[in-house]
Amino acid sequence: MPECTDQYIKPLTCKTNETGHLEVGGCDLVELAKEFGTPLYVIDEYTVRQICCDYKKAFSSYKNVNMMYASKALCTMATTALISSEGFGFDVVSGGEIYTVHKAGVDMSKVLFNGNNKSVDELILALDLGIGRFSVDNFFELSLLNELAKSKNKTADILLRITPGIECHTHEYIQTGHLDSKFGFDLTQTDEAVDLILSQYSNLKLHGIHAHIGSQIFETKVYHDEIDVLVKELARINSKFGLKLNQINIGGGLGVKYTEKDCPPSVYDIAGVITKSLDSAVKKYGVEPPEIFLEPGRSVISNAGVTLYTIGSSKQVPKGRLYFAVDGGMADNPRPSMYQAEYSALIANKPDNEALHNVTIAGRFCESGDILIQEIKLPEIEEGDILCVFNTGAYNFSMASNYNRVEKPAMVLVNNSQFDMIVKRESLNDLISHDVVPDRLKNNV
């Protein structure tokens, strides 16, 4: 098996079996498509466990590290239970994610609540369930959280989220650490925030600071720069206010390999940069080594997942593209439409056939921009073939919609030739289950 999971496009157990089909986790993908229908999300348990092990090994030299899986990448009860079993905590960003990890049996003291506009109901839920940390994003939240904690006679343990002024070379929509960002306190505002906590907000206990610099990051120097900013700010706050803050959350964002042209650093690469930068910064600014939190999401789950589709119609544009349409698209994977994301794929029922034609994989939804893969070289394709798109574990199911009133796909977890449905396919009745027709309209139907 490869040394580090995030640098590989396919799940670690992916191979061609004796029938000539692709298999993952010892399970024939063509047979899974027959059993559960398509589109179908498939998650490889072994790959998830392996990347969790990579993270723990890579950071084992630093004494006090908290791995907090970023649930927004993929949040189901089964995947939560799986990642929790590897010793990870959870970074959550909504009441739905809080409720999911709670119902999955997670120790809520190992959960951190993030987000730039947390609702009253979400904050109350988090307080009631004993969330371990709140990453407070703005002055409004400071006041609101203090008021709610006071009403429950509780103290909320918090980190201040700051914008460190660092830009990484990712899509502008997934940059979060630059100064003109909707997230966090500007560095010129942190003194005012700390002063309010100490002088007015007695139901908040400040432990440290938090920053997140982006997503799908391929650089390593940005982590060095971020740590220098965070440790410097921690030392400055401690000195000015006579505090002993000892926690920093450096976020996540490690990139993964979607196509062969992508070259992300390994978990071991970034761990080396982070731990060395921490050692250097604590000496430089004269502070004790802080407890650190990391929030990997995409790199934990992405290449553990594949999505299966059935090929339907085709269209040859005269002197133009050759289109093949699948039975899914932008509703189960909006990333190509949103971010111009690129993917790799094979025909699961003939993965080793020679790739002969450049084709475009189109989705089934009524949008011209519903293109899953702009250009890919594949073998002869026929109606009914099963297309396997790789590296779809992160931000596919979690961003899925019911656009065009289409049911969301099922999800299956595979391991050691065993498969288990972990998310049921939506039914037509599910689609209308929350619809209500007022009585005054019923007589007109």
298-318 residues labelled b (16+ CB within 10 A) or e (exposed) = bbbbbbbbbbbbbbeeeeeee
DSSP-assigned letters across all residues of 373-411: EEEEEES---TT-EEEEES-SSSSGGG---GGG-PPPEE
DSSP-assigned letters across all residues of 314-326: EEE-TTS-EEEEE
Nearest to 311 by CA among 295, 322, 297: 322
Phi, psi at 390, each rounded to 5°: -90, 160
The catalytically annotated residue of 4, 27, 53, 366 is 366
| Spatial distance between the Cα atoms of 326 and 308, rounded to a whole number of angstroms | 9
Q: Hey, is 335 helix, strand or coil?
A: helix
Catalytic annotation present for 366: yes
| Spatial distance between the Cα atoms of 163 and 167, rounded to a whole number of angstroms | 10
Helix (H) or strand (E) holding 135: strand 133-136
| Spatial distance between the Cα atoms of 348 and 371, rounded to a whole number of angstroms | 20
Give the tokens for residue 227: 């740590």
CB-based contact 240:24 (threshold 8 Å) = no
Gyration radius from the chain CA atoms: 23
Is it true that the peptide bond before 39 is cis, omega within 30 degrees of 0?
Answer: yes
Give the tokens for residue 183: 């997230």
Query: Which residues are part of the catalytic machinery?
Result: 366
